[in-house]
Amino acid sequence: MDHHDQHHDDMSSPRSYTDSQWSPPPPGFRELDQIYAADGSPHTYSNPNSPPAVSPPLPYEHEYHQHPQPQNYETYQQGYSTEKETPYGTVAPIGKPTPDFEGPEVVPGQFSHYPHGGRPMSPSSHGGTTLTSPHIRPYGFKEHVDPYDNHEAAPPPVPPKDDRKCGMKKRTFFILIGVIVIAIIALALGLGLGLGLNKDDSDEGTVHPFCRENPESCIGGSLNSEYLSKKGVFNGTGIALAGESWNKGQRRIFTLYFQHHTGDIRFMQYTTDRKWIGGGKAQTVAGDAKDASPISAVAFALNETQYFHIFYIDKNNTVKQLIQSNTSDIWQPGPLSDLNLKAFDSPTTGLQACYKGNFYGDNDYTKFPTASGLNNTEQFEGQTGMNIWFATDDSTFLQYAWYSGQDDTWAKIEPWSGFNGHAGVGCYSWGAGTTSYAMLNNKDNDVEFWWKDTNQSAPSTPTHPINSWQNASMGAIKDVYPITSLGYTTYFYAQMADRSIKGFNITYNAENTTYIEDETFTVTDISNSVVGLGGTHLTVTAFAEKRGEETLWDSLYVFFQTAGDDITAFTRGLNGGEWTKGSLSIPDE
């Protein structure tokens, strides 16, 4: 039994908690053979015949002098609980007289409300004075027990009720509670021990299974769910740029596509007055992209119509194509989506599309910019279209091609094997002449340059075969980041093993493609300490604002992530100078 319960139970009992004996008589009652003095009176009676002192009037408005009818009362009904306790009082032996001078026996329950509503009066003593008593006699009290009185047996003691809690005996209840508490403690200790021993495993549970063993091939939330962006752009977002320097009718230089932290693919535009607009919900392109999906953009003009093509991988690892033209603001599914092509199911997957055949639809080859800044003198290839590469496993890419005039047809070209399917792809196929280039990262983390000449009128030789992809081994870039993104406009860019972004001035010349190390540069700021997120996507372009033959200003643009919820832009002049940087303001909603 709980001692607290025992204490509360004893509050209703006149027994002492310490010795379980009857409580002593109330103060002022001493069992002495003497006449008691009246409360508040300084005098005592010297003998029974002495005149009594007059007691102060009682605070009652009425006195009832009629004798009340004898009634029987249960002494334990009011004021006291009978539960768990035996009746307080016991009845004196029948016929034993109680002397007048003996102190009255205090019986609990006697001091109850009287049926006549008033207070019993002291006995009258002929003169109307009231004898004061050490305690007001209860109703029906007798000084003597008359032998002829009917003896009423005391009510039988009420047996104590079983101590019960929630329908169970108290002891059983507390045993059950104890068992439950012990079980909870044991469970908590077991879980705590398990979580403590497996803390590393629990932390790893937030990591994609592939990334647990290959962290250098992952980025953002796939490394740890804590890295997921809560604002700005998605950590590991694809970044793509569609330049419009060929589009003289628009007041925008280019359009930038990215994945918002909510998962949507959106776009922002950079205007000719060098201001950014867009990036909100109204600029949403797609809402079904997989996390950190690569994004590729191709924009060109065809038959006086401007087209924008966006390529990405959806949540089901399907390669998707969306198309928008200047005749409608609605993004429509392209024919590549209808093929239901499946990309590599991995947190990071390579994908890149390129325009081919001429300078984004402009057949005037003299307008094509060159790295030297001089006008182009070589004609474009007659046929125009697009190529796309996407990984299907960790070492294989598939290539598909589309040609103008065949609006609904994408043709499978050939698989590319022996490359890193988690890394990006670069391409250059819109230049002068008939040779196209593709750049891929091999298993040794070297970027390889592959070329293909489609000039059917040229002789095919062992060193320069026609219409066949060949590796220009002299152009390889060593020691890049395993899943580097690749980009080319004017300069070729890659992320190096130390996570810096480096630019290369490539001489594209088929089997003789190469670069000069002294002409390379690192994208940085005045602190010379800029590094990107490991595996960041990047996109690049170049632009020159002219008035006639006069160049008003020109700039290189390089975009990549440095923090995780950002897209940071780096700019400098085409011919050199200090780099400046600034983060794009991306709406959080």
Q: Measured between alpha carbons, how far is 546 from 554 in angstroms, rounded to an integer?
A: 9
What is the gyration radius of the CA atoms in the chain, in angstroms?
51
Q: Give the total number of structural domains in the chain.
A: 3
SS3 category, 192: helix
Task: Say which residue, 554 or 145, is predicted with more confidence.
Answer: 554
Kindly indicate the confidence band of residue 202, based on its pLDDT and cuts at 50, 70 and 90: very low
Q: What tens digit of pLDDT does each residue of 474-504 get? A: 999 999 999 999 999 999 999 999 999 999 9
Do 505 and 487 lie in a common domain?
A: yes
**pLDDT tens-digit map of 328-376:** 889 999 999 999 999 999 999 999 999 887 544 444 545 444 555 556 5
Angle at 47 between CA 42 and CA 50, to 5 degrees: 70
Same domain, 497 and 374: yes
Q: Which residue has the higher pLDDT, 283 or 1?
A: 283
Residue 346 structure tokens: 């991995």
Whether residue 187 is found in the same domain as residue 314: no
**pLDDT for the residue 25:** 43
Tell me whether residue 322 is in a domain: yes
Q: Does the structure show a pLDDT above 70 at 311? A: yes
Which pLDDT value is given to residue 164? 60
Regarding whether 51 and 133 lie in a shared domain, the answer is yes
Predicted local distance difference test score (pLDDT) of residue 12:
41
Same domain as 279, residue 137 = no
Question: Is 536 a domain residue?
Answer: yes
What integer pLDDT is reported at residue 186 of this predicted model? 72
Regarding whether 184 and 150 lie in a shared domain, the answer is: no
pLDDT at 126 over 70: no
Strand-pair partners of 300: 307
Q: What is the pLDDT of residue 252?
A: 84
Average pLDDT over residues 228-232: 94
Q: What angle do CA 427, 265, 339 make, to 5 degrees?
A: 65
Higher pLDDT, 410 or 186: 410
Residues 436 and 412 both lie in one domain: yes
Give the pLDDT score at 522.
96
- 97 located within any domain: yes
Same domain, 115 and 192: no
Task: Assign residue 477 the CATH number of its domain.
Answer: 2.120.10.70
Residue 232 lies in a domain: no
For every residue of 207-244, DSSP letters joined together read: S-HHHHH-GGG--GGGT-GGGS-SSSB-TT--EEEEE-
Residues 153 and 295 in one domain: no
pLDDT, one tens digit per residue, over 454-472 is 888 899 999 999 999 999 9
pLDDT digits (tens, 9 = 90+) for 402-421: 988 776 789 999 899 999 99
Single out the residue of 490, 506, 568 nearest to residue 536, CA to CA: 568
Q: Is the pLDDT of residue 32 over 90?
A: no
d(CA 484, CA 445): 9
In a domain? residue 550: no
**Same domain, yes or no, for 413 and 315?**
yes
Q: Indicate if 269 and 133 belong to the same structural domain.
A: no
| Residues 327/337, Cβ–Cβ less than 8 Å | no
In this structure, is residue 563 part of a structural domain?
no
219 falls within a domain: no
Q: Which domain holds residue 179?
A: 168-197
pTM assigned to the model = 0.65
What gap in Å lies between CA 315 and CA 288, rounded to an integer?
A: 6
The answer to whether residue 226 scores a pLDDT higher than 60 is yes
Mean pLDDT of the chain: 76
The residue from 108, 135, 161 where one domain ends is 161
- Residue 37 has a pLDDT of 42
Which amino acid, residue 15?
Answer: R
User: Are 534 and 482 within 8 A, CB to CB?
Assistant: no
Of 164-168, 265-269, 384-388, the one with minimum mean pLDDT is 164-168
Q: In angstroms, rounded to a whole number, what is the distance separating the alpha carbons of residues 501 and 521?
A: 9
Shared domain check, 364 and 293? yes
On whether residue 58 sits in a domain, the answer given is yes
Higher-pLDDT residue of 297 and 177 is 297
Q: What is the mean pLDDT of residues 214-227?
A: 94
Instruction: Return the structure tokens found at 95.
Output: 């016929």
**Of 392, 441, 435, 429, whose CA–CA distance to 414 is shortest?**
392
